[in-house]
């Protein structure tokens, strides 16, 4: 790790190993170099030691037993040094290299001292005479030690210096010409060997450092390449993954869709599921973006749990998700998968310390049944999603050919809408609201109507969708409010001063323009009492009370009445009804349809009527179509209603005629 750090911190062009790192690398290389010689030098030294005894015996007839004792001691010393070296080599990772070298130097020095005592064991030794063989043997052993000392000159010198000094001293003591000549040769020979040993050791150390640096550099490059590869893999994953949910992103999804499309057949078709969350913006606006992110993460986790292994899911952006599921048998299996996903996703989730009900819509398209290219398949799934959102929450819709026709129809409506509003072609029709007890008119609800010159009469939902697509909320609301004020003026002129008019507003209206200011200006210009003007709010607008509460309070201060439309169909809580003053709750027609045969609906209507009375809120039921409905609703405590039993939506002229007819009938 120290050496790796020195590589990382090295400056360009500087040595990789410096200071203590360099010394440590040299010591380790020296230790390994010595260990690489193995047992062979000790074996040769032992052979030479025993040969001394033999030569001595042959030359001097073995007159001194000390030479033989010396040979045994030397062999014993060699065995001890060999055992020490084997032990140090086996446990070299447990000992610092400097400590190992010190052990080896000490052993070599003891071996050299023992060789230095050899001539002293021979009586009357003459190293320049009859015992010259000892001179050659000792000098040869010293030379061998120096040659072996290439890795570490200190070990070689520790072994070779004592016997050379011993031989040189004895030669000087003899004082003969031959002894002096041998002394000079031994000295010169020793100097050359020591110099060669030192140079060899220096070269060994330099080569060891260069080798270590090359190894470190190679390791560093290898690690750098590995880091680069890991970084590239991580970047590749990030480039294909949504960082919030961990699902694939749009780029990865597109490539996967292209691959899956190539394998799709009519027998094993490919299903594309595109879905988004209903009212996700409300979560962000009221609970904060952290809660919105938590919702998306929860949805992604549930989606991954709901899908089979062969399916592939992605977050395309915002609250929009998509799923590819290959090898399906057909539409039924695709719809079943979508409904299973909805069941898993739409379970309540805890956000900001309260339970929140998730709502989602899914559009389904099949390949190659509906399209063969990715763009066309997405377009088909988007059309199905649009239809699913229009059909209600928690809905999965599969693409059909008529959806393309509907889209073209809707595009035509959107194109012509603004001109129609400005020209007055978009009309306000009104449906009467009456007392159940006597059928007396109490108010009318303004409903948008448009007889398109090419498409004919349009449904109100088509007009509202076009308004939302073109962001014409303010223009439509002003137009409908103008028409409502005009009707109120005509009713007042006819003596009907207690009849109110209801106009529908959505959460989008509050987001796109200043509702209190716009409505206040219009009723003031027409001289209409705001108390006769009722604003019907969608549940979504009421759920946005934390965002638009100031606007609702301003409308209340101006004197406008506030009504909640389609009550009972969503997740409105009592806390919202308490946050803003609601004058009327309109029970949705779904609770009225078939109420004579549904005890469940009768119980629900009874509970809602009781709730209204406790909160001092008027209750009006929608969709009353039969006399039987009227009788049952009256018995359940409902006091006001609207529906086809009394009248359908009518033009302003028809409303006045209807009122006149009612008075005549009375």
What is the C-alpha to C-alpha distance for residues 6 and 163, in angstroms, rounded to an integer? Answer: 43
Is there a single domain that holds both residue 542 and residue 571? yes
- Report the SS3 class of residue 431: strand
Q: From the CA atom positions of the chain, what is the Rg in Å?
A: 51
Q: Is the pLDDT of residue 170 over 80?
A: no
Q: What is the pLDDT of residues 8-19, one digit of tens each?
A: 444 444 455 455
Global confidence as pTM = 0.52
Q: Is the pLDDT of residue 448 over 90?
A: yes
Is there a single domain that holds both residue 206 and residue 148? yes
Is there a single domain that holds both residue 414 and residue 392? no
Average pLDDT over residues 154-179: 73
Is there a single domain that holds both residue 417 and residue 393? no
Is there a single domain that holds both residue 62 and residue 82? yes
Average pLDDT over residues 152-174: 73
Cβ neighbour number for residue 98 with a 10 Å cutoff: 13
**Residue 584: beta bridge partners?**
563, 618
Which H or E run includes 136? helix 132-148
- Residue 11 confidence (pLDDT): 43
- Residue 485 confidence (pLDDT): 93
Is there a single domain that holds both residue 346 and residue 458? no
Q: What is the pLDDT of residues 479-499, one digit of tens each?
A: 999 999 999 999 998 888 889
Q: What is the pLDDT of residues 522-537, one digit of tens each?
A: 999 999 999 999 999 8
204 found inside a domain? yes
Q: Residue 269: give its domain's CATH number.
A: 3.30.70.270
Percent of the chain at pLDDT > 70 equals: 78
Residue 31, domain extent: 2-221
Is there a single domain that holds both residue 368 and residue 421? no
Q: How many domains does the chain divide into?
A: 3
CB 546 within 8 A of CB 512: no
235 found inside a domain? no
DSSP states of 353-385: TEEE---EEEEEEEETTT-SSHHHHHHHHHHHH
What is the C-alpha to C-alpha distance for residues 227 and 329, in angstroms, rounded to an integer? Answer: 46
Is there a single domain that holds both residue 586 and residue 442? yes
Higher model confidence: residue 393 or residue 439? 439
Nearest alpha carbon to residue 53 among 28, 31, 70, 35: 70
Using the 8-state DSSP alphabet, how is residue 10 labeled?
P
Out of 56-60, 371-375, 414-418, 429-433, least confident range: 56-60
Considering 7-11, 84-88, 623-627, the range whose residues carry the highest mean pLDDT is 623-627
Q: Is the pLDDT of residue 25 over 50?
A: yes
Q: What is the pLDDT of residues 219-265, one digit of tens each?
A: 777 777 777 767 666 555 556 788 888 888 888 888 888 888 888 88
- Residue 351 confidence (pLDDT): 77
CB 42 within 8 A of CB 76: no
- Residue 346 confidence (pLDDT): 85
236 found inside a domain? no
Is there a single domain that holds both residue 103 and residue 163? yes
What is the C-alpha to C-alpha distance for residues 142 and 157, in angstroms, rounded to an integer? Answer: 9
Q: What is the pLDDT of residues 449-480, one digit of tens each?
A: 999 999 999 988 889 888 888 888 889 999 99
Higher model confidence: residue 129 or residue 285? 285
226 found inside a domain? no
The whole-angstrom distance between residue 577's C-alpha and the CA centroid of its chain comes to 39
Is there a single domain that holds both residue 85 and residue 201? yes
Domain end marker among 399, 419, 452: 399
What is the C-alpha to C-alpha distance for residues 247 and 242, in angstroms, rounded to an integer? Answer: 5
Is there a single domain that holds both residue 389 and residue 498? no
Domain end marker among 171, 205, 221: 221
Percent of the chain at pLDDT > 90 equals: 15
Higher model confidence: residue 167 or residue 648? 648
Mean residue pLDDT of the chain comes to 79
Q: Is the pLDDT of residue 6 over 60?
A: no
- Residue 263 confidence (pLDDT): 83
- Residue 4 confidence (pLDDT): 39
13 found inside a domain? yes
Q: Is the pLDDT of residue 572 over 60?
A: no
Residue 292 binned pLDDT confidence (cut-offs 50, 70, 90): confident
Average pLDDT over residues 48-61: 71
Cα dihedral 329, 330, 334, 336 sign: negative
Domain end marker among 357, 373, 399: 399
Average pLDDT over residues 61-77: 77
243 found inside a domain? no
234 found inside a domain? no
CB 385 within 8 A of CB 403: no
CB 402 within 8 A of CB 451: no
Residue 588 binned pLDDT confidence (cut-offs 50, 70, 90): confident
Q: Is the pLDDT of residue 146 over 80?
A: no
241 found inside a domain? no
Q: Is the pLDDT of residue 575 over 60?
A: no
Is there a single domain that holds both residue 153 and residue 279? no
Q: Residue 649: give its domain's CATH number.
A: 3.20.20.450
Out of 70-74, 229-233, 262-266, 328-332, least confident range: 229-233
């Amino acid at each position: 790790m120290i050496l790796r750090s020195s590589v990382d911190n090295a400056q360009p062009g500087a040595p990789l190993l410096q200071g203590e790192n360099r010394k440590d690398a040299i010591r380790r290389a020296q230790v390994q170099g010595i260990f690489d010689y193995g047992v062979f030098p000790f074996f040769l030294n032992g052979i030479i030691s025993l040969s001394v005894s033999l030569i001595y015996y042959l030359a001097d007839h073995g007159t001194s037993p000390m030479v033989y004792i010396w040979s045994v001691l030397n062999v014993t010393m060699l065995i001890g040094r060999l055992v020490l070296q084997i032990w140090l080599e086996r446990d070299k990772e447990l000992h610092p290299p400097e400590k190992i070298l010190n052990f080896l130097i000490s052993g070599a020095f003891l071996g050299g001292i023992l060789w230095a005592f050899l001539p002293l064991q021979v009586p009357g030794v003459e190293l320049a005479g009859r015992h010259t063989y000892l001179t050659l043997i000792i000098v040869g052993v010293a030379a061998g030690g120096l040659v072996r000392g290439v890795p570490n000159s200190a070990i070689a010198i520790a072994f070779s210096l004592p016997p050379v000094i011993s031989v040189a001293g004895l030669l000087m003591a003899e004082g003969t010409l031959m002894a002096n000549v041998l002394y000079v040769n031994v000295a010169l020979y020793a100097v050359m060997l020591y110099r060669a040993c030192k140079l060899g050791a220096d070269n060994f150390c330099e080569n060891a450092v260069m080798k270590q640096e090359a190894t470190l550099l190679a390791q560093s490059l290898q690690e750098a390449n590995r880091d680069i590869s890991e970084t590239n893999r991580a970047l590749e994953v990030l480039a294909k993954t949504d960082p919030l949910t961990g699902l694939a992103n749009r780029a990865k999804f597109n490539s996967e869709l292209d691959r899956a499309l190539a394998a799709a057949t009519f027998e094993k078709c490919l299903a594309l599921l595109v879905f988004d969350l209903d009212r996700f913006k409300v979560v962000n606006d009221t609970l904060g973006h952290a809660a919105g992110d938590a919702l998306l993460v929860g949805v992604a986790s549930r989606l991954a749990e709901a899908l089979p292994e062969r399916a592939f899911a992605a977050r395309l952006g915002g609250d929009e998700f998509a799923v590819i599921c290959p090898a399906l048998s057909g539409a039924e299996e695709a719809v079943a998968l979508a409904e299973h996903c909805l069941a898993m996703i739409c379970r309540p989730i805890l956000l900001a310390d309260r339970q929140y009900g998730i709502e989602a819509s899914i559009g389904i398209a099949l390949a190659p049944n509906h399209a063969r290219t990715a763009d066309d398949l997405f377009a088909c799934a988007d059309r199905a999603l649009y239809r699913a959102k229009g059909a209600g929450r928690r809905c999965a819709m599969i693409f059909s050919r008529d959806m393309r026709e509907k889209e073209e129809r809707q595009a035509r409506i959107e194109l012509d809408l603004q001109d129609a509003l400005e020209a007055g072609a978009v009309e306000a029709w009104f449906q009467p609201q009456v007392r159940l007890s006597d059928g007396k008119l109490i108010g009318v609800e303004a409903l948008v109507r448009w007889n398109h010159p090419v498409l004919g009469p349009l449904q109100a939902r088509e007009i509202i969708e076009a308004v939302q697509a073109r962001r014409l909320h303010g223009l439509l609301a002003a137009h409908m409010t103008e028409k409502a004020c005009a009707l109120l003026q005509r009713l007042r002129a006819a003596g009907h001063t207690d009849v109110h008019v209801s106009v529908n507003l959505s959460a989008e209206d509050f987001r796109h323009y200043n509702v209190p200011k716009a409505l206040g200006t219009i009723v003031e210009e027409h001289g209409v009492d705001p108390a006769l003007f009722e604003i019907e709010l969608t549940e979504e607008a009421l759920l946005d009370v934390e965002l638009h509460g100031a606007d609702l309070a301003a409308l209340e201060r101006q004197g406008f009445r506030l009504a909640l439309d389609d009550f009972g169909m969503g997740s409105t809580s009592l806390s919202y009804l308490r946050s803003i003053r609601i004058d009327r709750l309109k029970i949705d027609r779904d609770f009225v349809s078939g109420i004579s045969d549904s005890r469940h609906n009768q119980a629900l209507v009874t509970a809602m009527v009781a709730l209204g009375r406790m909160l001092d809120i008027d209750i009006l039921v929608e969709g009353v179509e039969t006399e039987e409905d009227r009788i049952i609703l009256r018995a359940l405590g409902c006091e006001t209603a609207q529906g086809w039993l009394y009248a359908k939506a009518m033009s302003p002229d028809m409303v006045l005629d209807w009122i006149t007819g009612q008075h005549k009938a009375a």
